[in-house]
Amino acid sequence: MKPYTSIIKMIGNTPILQISLKKTLWELYLKMEKFNPGLSMKDRMALNMINQAERGGFLKPGFTIIESSSGNTAIGLAVVSAVRGYKFIAVVDHHAAKEKLDIIQAYGGKIVFVKGNYGKGEVAIVEREETARQMCQEIPNSFCLKQADNLNNRGAYIDTLAKEIYKSISKVDVLMGPIGTGGSLSGTAEGLKKRNPKIKVIAIEPIGSTIFNSMGGPYLQSGTGNPVGADIPFNVNYSLIDDHGYVSDQEAFNTCRFFARKKGILIGGSAGGVLYKAIEYASNQEGRGKLIVIMPDGGEKYISTIFNDKWMRENNLFNRKVDAYLEIHV
C-alpha cells in the first residue's frame, strides 16, 4: 500500500463486514463508514461540497464555513477545513453528543448553540438552519454549504460509496440505509441503480420523523430523520426509494449495545437502527439474497449516551425484548 500524502485522501474505500444470520439464507453486509478520518460517512459529502464550492469560486482562502449540523457533518467539515485553511463554525443544538462537539473543537472548529428551550426528543433543525443563515449574512467572507439542499451532498455518494459497494459485492439485491438529509441514501441509490436497476432501496427513519409520515413526534436518534416543522430536504429523492420503515429509539440503541457486547462492533445510533431493521428484513425473506446496509458512524461518539447505563435508564430506553430477538437471529 502506498503512503497517503493528505488525511483527506483517506476518505472513502471503507471496509465491508459480513454478519452471519441464523434464521435465513440471506447474506447481510455492513458498509462500515466509521473508518473514514472523521469517523463517519459525512466526510465524503463534506469534501465534495467544499471541493465544488471552491471550483465555483464561492470559497476563497481565509473564508469561514458555517454549517448547521447534528455533529457528523460538522466533524467532516472541520477535518477538511483544517487541511484547506478555512475557519469553521458549527451551529448545533442540545441533540449533538458531547463527544462530537469535543471532536469539532479538537480540529479547530467553533461551536454555536441555537437559542431556545427544547425537550429531550426535540430536534431544532429549523432554528439551526436559520441561525446559520443569519451568521452568514453577518460574518464577512463566510459561506454556508446548506447540506440539506446542496446537491453536492448527494453527488458525493453517487460515484464513491455506490461504486465501492458495486465493486465489492456482486449482485446486491437490497440497499438499506438511514435517511436524514437524504444525501447518502439517495446518492448511493442513484449510483447503484445506474449499474443495477433491479436493486431495491429501503429507507429507515426514526419513529417520530416526518420524511414518510407527516404526523411526527420527538425522538432521540441523532443525525437521522426529519423533525416536525422542518421542510423535507431537497436531497431526499423519493423516486429512488422503493420502500421505507420505522425504528424506535429502544430498537436502535439496544442494538448498538448488543453488537458492542456480543460482536465487538461499536456503532452509532442511526447505524443501530438500520441494522436492527436489516436483520428483521433479512430474517423474514425466503430463498437467498444479498442485503447491504450503510452504517453511518461508530459508537465512539455516544459513550456518554447510548453506552451509558444511567442515560439509558433516565430515558427509559432499555428493552430486553430487543436483546432476545437479536440473540435468536444473529
User: Catalytic residue among 9, 31, 34, 42, which?
Assistant: 42
Q: To which H or E segment does residue 96 belong?
A: none
Q: In the sheet that 64-68 helps form, which strands lie side by side, from edge to edge? A: 110-113, 87-92, 64-68, 142-144
Distance (Å, rounded) from C-alpha 172 to C-alpha 180?
A: 23
Max distance between CA atoms of the chain, in angstroms, equals: 60
3-class DSSP state of 47: helix
Sign of CA dihedral 232, 235, 239, 244: negative
Our answer to whether residue 42 is catalytic in this structure is yes
Residue whose C-alpha is closest to residue 152's, from 238, 58, 243, 228? 58
**Residue 170: burial class (beta carbons within 10 Å; 0-12, 13-18, 19+):** exposed
Specify the 3-state DSSP secondary structure of 321: helix
Residue 169 and residue 305: Cα distance in Å, rounded? 34
**Residue 81, helix vs strand vs coil:** helix
Q: Kindly list the catalytic residues.
A: 42
